[in-house]
């Protein structure tokens, strides 16, 4: 796992987080716009500029721990002209799926970097960039997996909510506070880091299997 408190890992972690967060949120905003909701675009969130998405506290948390977050993405389901429930599910699914695609891209780049740079695999430049790419893989993988969890206010809450009928959605909405408390507990206690430490090796095996196909 990441050495969260080591200053020597700070730049790679911030680099990876900014890429993961920016593309995650831009994917949300872009898909929402394509499906008819321009709320995020009008709020200047359909942008590849990290400053458009940064949350100060969320960024600070990256410095001290494995967790961080960006500003909440404004989405108005009433603006979707067709099948509001399905459209909302697709919008929230776009973020974590983008992160998982980035995992495959950065993993590929990690192995093919020497050929792209025309350098030996053991060269100092390659090794330095591989540190950044390794963190890009880890951070995108963690963000992608975490946001598939059915916990408020993560994307997974809205993704899985979309598979239920309207009456059950109302019941789910009443559980938001409980789900939020659970997320806070996972963030401020060792339980969350322990869970991530258990999930990560299995996720890596899945990626390696995909590369072997």
Q: What is the pLDDT of residues 148-197, one digit of tens each?
A: 999 999 999 999 998 888 889 899 989 989 888 888 887 777 777 777 76
Quote the pTM value. Answer: 0.86
Burial class (CB in 10 A: 0-12, 13-18, 19+), 62: buried
Average pLDDT over residues 52-71: 81
The full DSSP string for 159-195 is HHHTTS-HHHHHHHHTTHHHHHHHHHHHHHSHHHHHH
**CA–CA distances in Å: residue 208 to residues 108, 138, 175, 212, 213:** 10, 13, 37, 6, 9
For 54, phi and psi rounded to 5 degrees? -65, 135
Residue 30 pLDDT > 90: yes
Q: Reduced to 3 states, what is the DSSP secondary structure of residue 144?
A: helix
Share the mean pLDDT of the chain.
85
Confidence at residue 112, expressed as pLDDT on a 0 to 100 scale: 84
Confidence at residue 51, expressed as pLDDT on a 0 to 100 scale: 92
Kindly indicate the confidence band of residue 66, based on its pLDDT and cuts at 50, 70 and 90: low
Closest CA to 66 of 199, 159, 176: 199
Residue 5 pLDDT > 60: no
The distance from CA 167 to its chain's CA centroid, rounded to whole angstroms, is 29
C-beta separation of 45 from 111 below 8 A: no
Closest CA to 126 of 118, 190, 51: 118
Confidence at residue 166, expressed as pLDDT on a 0 to 100 scale: 86
Burial class (CB in 10 A: 0-12, 13-18, 19+), 199: middle
Q: What is the pLDDT of residues 76-114, one digit of tens each?
A: 999 999 899 999 999 999 999 999 999 999 998 988 887
Residue 1 pLDDT > 50: no
Confidence at residue 6, expressed as pLDDT on a 0 to 100 scale: 60
Q: What is the pLDDT of residues 7-21, one digit of tens each?
A: 677 888 899 999 999
C-beta separation of 26 from 46 below 8 A: yes
For 49: left if phi > 0, alpha if psi spans -120 to 50, otherwise beta; the answer is beta
Kindly indicate the confidence band of residue 65, based on its pLDDT and cuts at 50, 70 and 90: low
């Amino acid at each position: 796992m990441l050495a969260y408190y080591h200053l020597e890992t700070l730049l790679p972690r911030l680099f990876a987080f900014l890429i993961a967060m920016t593309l995650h949120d831009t994917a949300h905003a872009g898909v929402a716009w394509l499906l008819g909701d321009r709320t995020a675009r009008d709020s200047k969130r359909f942008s590849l500029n990290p400053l458009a998405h940064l949350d100060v506290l969320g960024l600070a948390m990256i410095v001290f721990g494995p967790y961080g977050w960006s500003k909440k993405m404004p989405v108005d389901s009433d603006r979707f002209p067709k099948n509001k429930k399905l459209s909302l599910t697709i919008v929230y699914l776009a973020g974590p799926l983008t992160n998982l695609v980035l995992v495959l891209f950065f993993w590929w780049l990690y192995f093919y970097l020497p050929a792209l740079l025309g350098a030996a695999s053991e060269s100092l430049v390659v090794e330095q960039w591989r540190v950044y790419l390794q963190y890009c893989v880890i951070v995108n993988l963690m963000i992608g997996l975490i946001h598939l969890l059915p916990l408020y206010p993560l994307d997974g809450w809205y993704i899985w909510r979309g598979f239920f009928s309207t009456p059950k959605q109302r019941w789910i909405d009443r559980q938001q506070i409980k789900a939020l408390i659970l997320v806070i507990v996972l963030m401020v206690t060792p339980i969350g880091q322990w869970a991530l430490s258990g999930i990560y090796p299995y996720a890596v095996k899945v990626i390696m299997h995909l590369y072997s196909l």
